[in-house]
Amino acid sequence: MPPLDPPEPLTQTSPFPSDSVGLVAPQRMAFDIPLELEGGKRLDAYDLVYETYGTLNADRSNAILVCHALSGDHHAAGYHRPEDRKPGWWDVCIGPGKPFDTRKFFVVSLNNLGGCKGSTGPTSTNPATGKAYGPDFPIVTVGDWVNSQRRLGERLGIRQWAAVAGGSLGGMQVMQWSIHHSECVRHALVIAATPKLSAQNIAFNEVARQAILSDPDFHDGRYDEYGVVPRRGLMLARMLGHITYLSEDAMRERFGRELREGRIQFGFDVEFQVESYLRHQGTSFVDRFDANTYLLMTKALDYFDPAQEFGGNLAQAFATSQSQFLVVSFTSDWRFSSARSREIVNALMEVRKPVCYADIRSTQGHDDFLMPNPDYLHVLQAYMQRVAVEIGA
Amino acid sequence: MSVLRPDLEIISHWIRPATRVLDLGCGDGTLLRHLQDTRQVTGYGLEIDPDNVVRSLQAGIQVIQMDVDQGLTPFADQSFDYVILTQALQVVRYPEQLLQEMLRVGREGIVTFPNFGHWRCRLQVAWKGRMPVSETLPEAWYNTPNIHLCTVRDFETLCRDQGYRTHSRQVVDSRHHGSWFMHFAPNLLGEIALYSLTGMKGTPPR
């Protein structure tokens, strides 16, 4: 596992925007109490890598847990190095004066188990063999993630989160928290999520997995031992994913039918700008992500169905929850459409839970939950202001 | 502390404490917040406008962004004590169906609307031959959101035809004051009408 670099010392003239949390450094926490996984296997010991922004108050009531989506990680806000061009993945929402206002809240963001950014996962060393876990890393579920997140919270001395928040697969972790550990969650912010994947969602995931599994360089997941990476498979998986993250309008607006060379070449090289975009997204992803982790994450998505153990009744799943809810969807999101968020809202209203819901007018698609859409940020800001008042932050 | 709009004040006197309320078109959340504070009600406000959703969030109510023109299908029969529709009957696409839905979902429905039978409206049509424009109906015919205007008599006819029972009625002027005269000639003198209704089977909350 690569060591985590300490941040450069802050200079007098900050190179970052004033509403940025600035330079941040990941931290690592080791756990040696075995974690029983829903799949029946067990992790005897594991590490979680996380970042924090803001300051935990004296009564430890101002903490927000941020849960990441499929390809996300612990780096949700700020910069690791002064020369970094891109901040963390949810920087539009986290920072001084932003919805998750770091002057009031203490924000915790972690890399989930099975990830490839420092928390124990397929690229970590398996203590039983001395080699990387690779395909032997057990399949983890949203429930397993939440259990590991609970331990992280306990170790940080946080008995109750002021809010647990996440988009997409992150929103599913929030739901899991609010159903099974609601006493630890004052407010649950479920954004661009769904109560379970549709057959179409699973179908897209399956094509992505097949792209990886059928890559000749995959070697049943032991590509590391062969000194290769299933580049083509992982790239295809990411390209496919990106199609589902964008709306048709957003694609038309960004790329239309623009040709890179200005005219048709009658060949199979990149001709249309959208092809160039997808290939770029695919190839850059290969350099920063692990194929086994991608497989695991898509499985966690597919398996998520919190209503299942309540006879398929989502309302019953929420019936004993003590959390208050904010549900947010985006009108142009066709991956997890507004209708799926309304299922969550309707279930919550059926069992008379405190819930607010905003369906944000948007153009970008599923990715909108990461975008600086003013309506979206105003909704989050107004809601988090309520949370701040409630906890006296 | 701002003073509550007088029609909302009248409505809040009709609401019993600790009941469940659904406010259709809750605007900036003022009424529901007031009812939460003074009547300890619970429930939701439905609102379509994004800016009003944010204001409702700021007001501290449970706001759900949805279009009441799509019906109230998410809500079970008789799952609220009151379903409230203030000054919005005339902007919805299907007022008849919405009233039906209100009394399906709520034990009691509370409706307020601008009275098109007010004498000033009548005069503008009769004398000037123009569509009425007034303090309660400030827009011109071509840009008004009000697509289903009615008079007190029209509304009462609809209620009678549908078998709804009126529990309370009050008419007020544009400053939301009532008077003895209005009580006797509501369709001529009332600018805003307020009703509390129950369906055929519905009984008002105890």
* pLDDT of the residue at A152: 98
Determine the pLDDT at residue B134: 84
Nearest to A281 by CA among A315, A253, A306, A245: A245
| Higher per-residue confidence, A271 vs B21 | B21
Q: Per-residue pLDDT averaged across B90-99, rounded?
A: 94
| pLDDT of B1 above 80 | no
DSSP string, A341-392: HHHHHHHHHHTT--EEEEEE--SS-GGGGGS--HHHHHHHHHHHHHHHHHHT
**Which element (helix H / strand E) includes A66?**
strand A63-67
Parent domain of B61: 6-115+150-198
**Which chain A residue's Cα is nearest to B67?**
A359
With CB atoms and an 8 Å threshold, state whether A379 touches B74. Answer: no
Which residues does chain A have within 8 Å of residue B66's beta carbon, measured at their own beta carbons? 342, 357, 359
Domain with CATH 1.10.1740.110 in chain A: 202-298
Tell me, yes or no, if the pTM score tops 0.80.
Answer: yes
Q: Which of A327, A356, A387 to mutate to test the interface with B (most CBs of B within 10 A)?
A: A356
| Of B158, B141, B163, residue with least CA distance to B193 | B158
What contacts 24+ positions apart, CB below 8 Å, involve B185-188?
Answer: B186/B115, B186/B152, B187/B115, B187/B117, B187/B118, B187/B151, B187/B152, B187/B153, B188/B117, B188/B118, B188/B119, B188/B122
B44–A379 C-beta distance less than 8 A: no
In angstroms, what is the C-alpha Rg of chain B?
17
Mean pLDDT across chain A = 94
Catalytic residues of A: 168, 333, 366
3-state secondary structure A164-216: EEEECHHHHHHHHHHHHCHHHEEEEEEECCCCCCCHHHHHHHHHHHHHHHCCC
| A386/B57 touch (CB, cutoff 8 Å), yes or no | yes
Tokens of A246: 């964008």
Distance set, CA A295 to CA A135, A272, A289, A302, A335 (Å): 9, 29, 11, 11, 18
CATH fold for domain A27-196+306-391: Rossmann fold (3.40.50)
Is the dihedral angle over the CA atoms A73, A77, A80, A83 positive or is it negative?
positive
pLDDT for A263 equals 86
Q: Is B48 on the interface with A (CB under 8 A)?
A: no
Q: Does this complex have an ipTM over 0.85? A: yes
Q: Inform me whether the C-beta atom of residue B70 falls under 8 Å from chain A C-beta atoms.
A: no
CATH number, domain with residue B43: 3.40.50.150
pLDDT given for residue B203 in this prediction: 54
* Class of domain A202-298 (CATH, top level): mainly alpha
Please state, in angstroms and rounded to a whole number, the distance separating the CA atoms of residues A110 and B132. 62
**Structure token pair of residue B5:** 């709009």
**Which residue ranges does chain A devote to CATH 3.40.50.1820?**
27-196+306-391
What is the phi/psi pair of residue B170, to 5°? -145, 140
Task: Please name the amino acid found at residue A181.
Answer: H
pLDDT value for B204:
53
In a domain, B203, yes or no: no
Q: Which two tokens stand for residue A22?
A: 């600035």
Q: Determine contact, residues A192/A332, Cβ cutoff 8 Å.
A: no
**Phi, psi (deg, nearest 5) at residue B185:** -130, 65
Of A43, A57, A50, the residue nearest A106 (C-alpha): A57
User: Do B63 and A356 count as a contact with CB atoms less than 8 A apart?
Assistant: yes
pLDDT, position A267: 85
Amino acid at site A289: F
Alpha helices in chain A, H assignment, sequence order: 142-155, 169-180, 199-213, 231-245, 248-255, 273-286, 291-303, 314-318, 338-350, 374-391
Q: Which residue has tokens 């549900």?
A: A327
Q: How many domains does chain B have?
A: 1
Contact A382 B63 (CB under 8 A): no
Q: Decide: B23 and B101 in contact? Cβ < 8 Å.
A: no
Burial call A83-105: b when 16+ CB within 10 Å, e when fewer: eeeebbbbbbbbbbebbbbbebb
Q: Tell which residue, A139, A146, A207, A149, has the closest CA to residue A172.
A: A146
Give Cα A65 distance to the centre of its chain: 12
Q: What is the mean pLDDT of chain B?
A: 91
Give the pLDDT band of residue B185 (cuts 50, 70, 90).
Answer: confident
Q: How far B63 CA lies from chain A's nearest CA (Å)?
A: 5
* B121 located within any domain: no
What residues in chain A have their Cβ under 8 A from chain B's Cβ atoms? 342, 345-346, 349-350, 352, 354-361, 375, 378-379, 382-383, 385-386
**How confident is the model over A280-337, as pLDDT tens digits?**
999 999 999 999 999 999 999 999 999 999 999 999 999 999 999 999 999 999 999 9
Question: How far is Cα of residue A250 from the mean position of the Cα atoms in its chain?
Answer: 22
pLDDT per residue rounded down to tens, chain A (393 residues): 444 554 444 555 678 999 999 999 999 999 999 999 999 999 999 999 999 999 999 999 999 999 999 999 999 999 999 999 999 999 999 999 999 999 999 999 999 999 999 999 999 999 999 999 999 999 999 999 999 999 999 999 999 999 999 999 999 999 999 999 999 999 999 999 999 999 999 999 999 999 999 999 999 999 999 999 999 999 999 999 999 999 999 999 988 888 888 888 888 888 888 999 999 999 999 999 999 999 999 999 999 999 999 999 999 999 999 999 999 999 999 999 999 999 999 999 999 999 999 999 999 999 999 999 999 999 999 999 999 999 998
For an interface test with A, the pick among B26, B41, B48, B53 (most A C-beta atoms closer than 10 Å) comes out as B53
In whole angstroms, give the CA distance from residue A174 to residue A164: 6
- Rounded to the nearest angstrom, the minimum Cα separation between B95 and chain A is 23
Q: What is the pLDDT of residue A12?
A: 52
As a three-state string, the secondary structure of chain B is CCCCCHHHHHHHHHCCCCCEEEEECCCCCHHHHHHHHHHCCEEEEEECCHHHHHHHHHHCCCEEECCHHHCCCCCCCCCEEEEEEECCHHHCCCHHHHHHHHHHHEEEEEEEEEECCCHHHHHHHHHHCCCCCCCCCCCCCCCCCCCCCECHHHHHHHHHHHCCEEEEEEEECCCCCCCHHHHHCHHHHCCEEEEEEECCCCCCCC
Summarised one tens digit per residue, pLDDT across range B31-90 is 999 999 999 999 999 999 999 999 999 999 999 999 999 999 999 999 999 999 998 999
Q: What pLDDT was estimated at residue A1?
A: 45
Whether B48 is in a domain gets the answer yes
Interatomic CA distance for residues A178 and A161, integer angstroms: 11
Q: Which of B204, B199, B180 is nearest to B190 (CA)?
A: B180
Distance (Å, rounded) from C-alpha B144 to C-alpha A293?
56
